[in-house]
A and B are shown apart, each in its own frame.
Chain A
Amino acid sequence: MMQAVGYGADPRIRWTEWLPWLAAVAVFFLLPEYLSLGARILVFILFALSLDLVLGYAGVITLGHSAFFGLGAYVAGILAAKFGITDPLLLLAAAALAAGVLGIATGAVILRTHGLTQLMLTLAIAAVCLEIANKATPITGGADGLSGIKIDPIFGAFRFDMFGRTAYVYCLITLFCGWWLVRRIIYSPFGATLTGIRENEVRMHAIGVPVYRRLVIAYTVSAMIAGVAGALLTQTNQFVGLNVLGFEPSGELLVMLVLGGAGRLYGAFVGPLVYMIAQDQLAKQFPEYWYLGIGLILVLVVMFARGGILGITDGLIARFRRPA
């Protein structure tokens, strides 16, 4: 049974939904040495949230979501390093705008197609972006990456410090805004039509939902959020590399989301958290076995646990409650 989330469910924020934020604030005070990892995790949660909207809720399978993330990262990086625009919030807005434009342009095209063609188009668009970033060396730095990015203090007051304290709080607040937006969308009638399209597109057509337009809007919003996540990564790292683009980051993101549970708001929180902490602990010592592990987990999740970690938890809770 799917958890009753979406239109018709009570849209008020339950008390349990404040717990992740309390935990995030607690991390800030209790684990100061992990703040830079924490900021990275927050960025990827935001990125996963954007994918969850199109893939988990609207059911659009994309292997090219890194195009928007990478575009946001590069727009923020290039504006800061080459054009001297260093205001962090302005950069976030520019990244969102650029990713939104790419999102509406590509979304208008790929959402007309289905199946393999759609998959192939998302992949090809991401590949084109990677190819451009790789070859336009004077602007993007090519394979060496883009460095020399300087970011002003936020509101002229909060400087990005070397302990990552500002970056962490900055990412946390941005993520909170993104979460609020996505949550509003999912609990709205608009969000309900997205889920409807995922479940049965023909029937949504039949009851008069403008399917194509809804999908394009969702895709564009998702692209903008992914662009903001990319810009956040640039600002906290002060560096952009080619690894933000292409098939592999898209694939990794997919793994994170599915691990947490796609089509659930908090799957996008749990997945990146578990994945990146495990990566931080294991990947450096055993790089080959890390990939082996990811692959095995993906296969196992698909075969036995389609709801991801949260799906398993829901199942356990349901089993625990039934006898009582």
Chain B
Amino acid sequence: MEAFLSSLVSIAFHGVAYGMILYVISVGLSVTMGLMGFVNLAHGVFAMAGGYILTAGLSRFGLSFPVALTLAFFLVAAGSVVLERLLYSRLYGVDELEQVLFTIGLIFIAVAVAQIIFGTLQQPVVLPDYVKGQFPLLGRDFPAYRVFLIAFSTVMIAALWFGVERTRWGAMVRAAVDNRAMAQSIGINTRRLFTLTFALGSGLAGLGGALGAEIIAIQPTYPFEHLVYFLIVVSIGGLGSLRGPFLAALLIGITDTACKYWVPHFGAFFIYVATIGLLLWRPAGLFGRRV
């Protein structure tokens, strides 16, 4: 019984840490899909880029951990603005198929570029000493880095929610998600709004990829392998919503960790089957608008 309880606590803890990372990576996807209806399968590329910036920054350039994290956010955000202005913006409002093909193409390019620069091996994460070791809490020891992950992500998410719910920019984003034509006609520059939101979402993905580099291994096939998970978070959570994907990410993080712990033989099987079941029950996701 004692052992069972202890495993339960451990699963909840690791599951929450994993779920937080999934959320930080995927939330941008939910907002951009909700805002422009753009099917961006290449979102994982931004997360991978953030991971590479962090690992390379720490091991090759000897940057400090906070600097590398900040760089991961800002470099990815800046890069995504360039991509958005040059390429994505040409495909707003065209066929879904073309968006899918275009973003799959981006994935192929990113995988190849990552292989050419960093090789096919998994990148080692050299964490600084102050986030290593164990963190005692309520008579148990938790890995300090995961505690840091959860705390940091919580602050980030709180800031994000405050921004979307309480600021003028957030109100404009929500208005544009609700009804883009109406938002445009009352004078909101939705294109600029979208570029900004896209940059923020991609930057967050980069940050999530960097933070989670220890949990989700950074390797060239990253955008392919984890695409399904990011999409599951968004489609179960519901497009254009902030809370939905949060709950979905936590749910998936905990379920996935529990499955890997108790029934490793089934792998991700349960997650996929549960996703199919959930989407059949509520095609627009748990918190999505019915279209």
Which of A's residues lie within 8 Å of B, judged by CB? 55, 59, 61, 63, 109, 112-117, 119-121, 123-125, 127-128, 131-132, 134-135, 247-248, 251, 254-255, 258, 262, 287-292, 294-299, 301-303, 306
Contact = CB atoms under 8 A, between A and B. Distances in A.
Interface in B216-237: 224, 227-228, 231-232, 234-235
Interface string B253-291: 000000000000111110011011001100111000001
Contacts of B98: 302, 306
Interface in B105-120: 105-113, 115-116
3 smallest beta-carbon distances between A and B, as pairs: A298-B105, A295-B108, A295-B109
Interface stretch (B9-17, B89-97, B161-169): B89-97
Contacts of B72: none
Contact of A298 (B108, B116, B285): B108
B239 A116 contact: yes
B234 A116 contact: yes
A248 B224 contact: yes
B284 A117 contact: yes
A268 to B, nearest CB: 15
21 contacts: A112-B283, A115-B291, A116-B39, A119-B39, A120-B231, A120-B279, A123-B228, A124-B228, A124-B279, A128-B272, A128-B276, A131-B267, A251-B104, A290-B112, A291-B112, A292-B109, A295-B110, A298-B105, A302-B101, A303-B90, A306-B98
B33 interface: yes
A69 to B, nearest CB: 18
Interface residues of B, number: 46
A132 B269 contact: yes
A117 B283 contact: yes
A291 B268 contact: no
B109 A299 contact: yes
Of B100, B112, B267, the most chain A CB neighbours within 10 A belong to B112
Contacts of B105: 294-299, 302
B259 to A, nearest CB: 11
Nearest to A294: B108
A121 B228 contact: no
* Chain A residues touching B, majority SS: helix
A127 B268 contact: yes
B224 A127 contact: no
B171 interface: no
B108 A131 contact: no
B148 interface: no
Given A116-B234, A258-B101, A295-B110, 10 more contacts: A55-B97, A124-B272, A124-B279, A131-B269, A135-B267, A247-B224, A262-B97, A292-B109, A298-B102, A302-B101
Of A59, A124, A135, A255, the most chain B CB neighbours within 10 A belong to A124
A301 B232 CA distance: 28
A288 B235 contact: no
A195 to B, nearest CB: 14
Contacts of A302: 91, 98, 101-102, 105
Contact of A113 (B90, B96, B275, B283): B283
